[in-house]
Amino acid sequence: MGSLQSDALDNVAATAGAAYPVSPLDPEEFRRQGHMVIDFLADYYHDVHKYPVRSQVEPGYLRKRLPDTAPNGPEPLEAILGDITHDIIPGITHWMSPSYFAYFPSSGSTAGFLGEMLSTGINVVGFNWMSSPAATELENIVMDWLAKMLKLPSCFHFSGGGGGVLQGTTCEGILCSLVAARDRALDRLGRDQIARLVVYGSDQTHCSIQKAAQIAGIHPDNFRAVPTTRADAFSLNPSALRAAIDKDIARGLVPLFLCATVGTTSSTAIDPLEGLCKVAKDYEHMWVHVDAAYAGAACICPEFRHAIDGVEMADSFSFNAHKWFLTNLDCCCMWVREPGALVRALSTNPEYLRNKGTESKKVVDYKDWQVALSRRFRSMKLWLVLRSYGVANLRNFLRGHVKMAKDFEDHVSADPRFEVVVPRTFAMVCFRLLSPPGLVAEGSTERANELNRRLLEAVNASGRAYVTHAVVGGVYMIRFAVGATLTEVRHVAEAWRVVKEHATDLLASCRSSDSAGPLVDRA
């Protein structure tokens, strides 16, 4: 090696030694900085109610605040935490705020956070049993615990031939189920028959089913969003499903997959599982997946368990523990009655992954139950949640939110300016502001909808609460979803005050500006 090259390498080594710590995982430094981050988060949770719930920044704000390039040398954690406070926090919509009532909740907890911290700290990549036996076996156990809490039939338990797996999200779970159903069908029909396969949901089914169908290679024309009606509370009617299937069969198509929903995103409607599963069973080999992403958690309460009656006839079932079960994102709990269908569709067995555990046929290799190879130790945080709170307290947590939602519903019903648009089933209230006679032209649904769009934006712009909307049956309605971990009765009462105040101001403004005629749309 020449002297110039040697000197250059020495300079690089010296620079690296000066710029970077000797150990990126020094235990004592980890302890010191870890305490700082915990203190930072504890203060955040203590003060989160003080922030505007919905971020008020404009697109592109952060690029104006941060440097164009990464730092060449290390920066102290104190400085980084300061930048989080000044630059990142303003761009956060605070899902942990007690005044967060938008979308569906993302309910974290001390146990969920600490479980996530343990999982991240141990940092295993548990793609098969051999890569970390405890990660796989704890997941087996926790999923059976949950199955018993939900009173799922034995066919979904490992002891009954089925089993559970922790996916990242419902989108992943639905995709895995659909791919398993697709391959099972094509093994029977022939691989060249994929263009005949049809996937069914309702016009209220989450959009993840349509994305899954696209990824799985289902022809775009072969996705059916069966219309729902107000008469059925926007649930999927079994007769409507049968009519759609029969029409497809008459055209030479093959019914493949039905996604039924317990707790739809728009209105928490409950599809009648028993009736839908009976229809599906009349068409041999049709796979039924039950998506209970939001409402599945509530079904650990005996008074809500009826919502999943009929699940015993389904092929797979899932709910998101990261929505309403005190488990930090991400954690989707999914069960299948025939794990072999997942394994056949998703398994790969390269030489470098061969091991005695897999060859024994006595273990689960979860890489074959999901899309990715690598996987996180999600069961750790779910285990901590179940052990730290117990079934009784988890039920009471859920019931508390349902009671708060009922209180809000009572407020809406008692104010003649408002109406509850669809029946409340769990902890979400769908409501709208009614238009006083003469303010909105008779029969003008769109103009009435515009009134509620303005109300929604006014509430959210205030920063005192955050709600979102949905449109069902052509009616624009405001969704008020109770479920944030820190929410108490007083926060629900305050949110109602915010809604009333802005409704009063909006109606007064409309009367003033439209005194010469009905409300017209404005930008």
Proportion of the chain above pLDDT 90, given as a percent = 89
Is it the case that residue 518 has pLDDT exceeding 50?
no
The CATH number, out of the four listed (3.40.50.300, 3.40.640.10, 3.40.1190.20, 1.10.3720.10), of the domain defined by the range 125-376 = 3.40.640.10
pLDDT averaged over the chain?
92
Interval 63-75: pLDDT, tens = 999 999 999 999 9
Interval 322-338: pLDDT, tens = 999 999 999 999 999 99
Q: Provide the whole-model pTM.
A: 0.91
Look at the domain 22-91 and name its fold: dopa decarboxylase, N-terminal domain (1.20.1340)
Which residues in 396-415 are b (16+ Cβ under 10 Å) and which e?
ebbeebbebbeebbebbeeb
Interval 410-437: pLDDT, tens = 999 999 999 999 999 999 999 999 987 6
Burial of 352 (0-12, 13-18, 19+ CB in 10 A): exposed
Interval 149-200: pLDDT, tens = 999 999 999 999 999 999 999 999 999 999 999 999 999 999 999 999 999 9
Q: What is the predicted pLDDT for the residue at 510?
A: 82
Q: What is the predicted pLDDT for the residue at 328?
A: 95
Confidence tier at 14 by pLDDT (50, 70, 90): very low
Average pLDDT over residues 277-300: 96
* Matching fold, domains 22-91 and 391-520: no
Q: What is the predicted pLDDT for the residue at 5?
A: 52
CA distances to 263, 410, 450 from 420, in Å: 17, 9, 17
> How does DSSP assign 17-79, residue by residue?
HHHS-S-TT-HHHHHHHHHHHHHHHHHHHHHGGGS-SS--PPTTTGGGTS-SS--SS---HHH
- Phi-psi map region of 47: left, alpha, beta (phi>0 left; psi -120 to 50 alpha): alpha
Which amino acid, 238? Answer: P
Confidence tier at 514 by pLDDT (50, 70, 90): low
Interval 229-274: pLDDT, tens = 999 999 999 999 999 999 999 999 999 999 999 999 999 999 999 9
Query: Residue 280's Cα: distance from chain center in Å?
Result: 26
Interval 346-404: pLDDT, tens = 999 899 999 999 999 999 999 999 999 999 999 999 999 999 999 999 999 999 999 99
Confidence tier at 509 by pLDDT (50, 70, 90): confident
Is it the case that residue 4 has pLDDT exceeding 80?
no
- CATH class of this structure's domain 391-520: alpha beta
Average pLDDT over residues 95-109: 95
User: Which sequence spans correspond to the domains of the chain?
Assistant: 22-91, 125-376, 391-520
Q: What is the predicted pLDDT for the residue at 445?
A: 82
